Amino acid sequence: MKKNMGTTDRAIRLTIAAILVALYFSNLISGIIGIVAIVIAAIFTLTTLIGFCPLYTLVGINTCPRAESK
């Protein structure tokens, strides 16, 4: 898998994941919406750690900066 997520994109995803987890554990969101929020947070965290988003591949987005040609 070729990385397709830049540093800023990864930081934003990790921040959103942390907010969703905090909202769930503070009981501000619960039930089905809470479970969906935790699943989204897990997906965001996983894609942040590996630096690859399958959805970006389908849509054709690449936020990773290009390597300078030698």
Record the pTM.
0.83
CA distance 27 to 45: 21
Q: What is the dihedral of CA 24, 9, 53, 64, to 10 degrees?
A: -170
The pLDDT score that the predictor gives to residue 64 is: 84
The pLDDT score that the predictor gives to residue 67 is: 55
Task: For residues 54-68, give the mean pLDDT.
Answer: 81
The pLDDT score that the predictor gives to residue 60 is: 86
The pLDDT score that the predictor gives to residue 69 is: 45
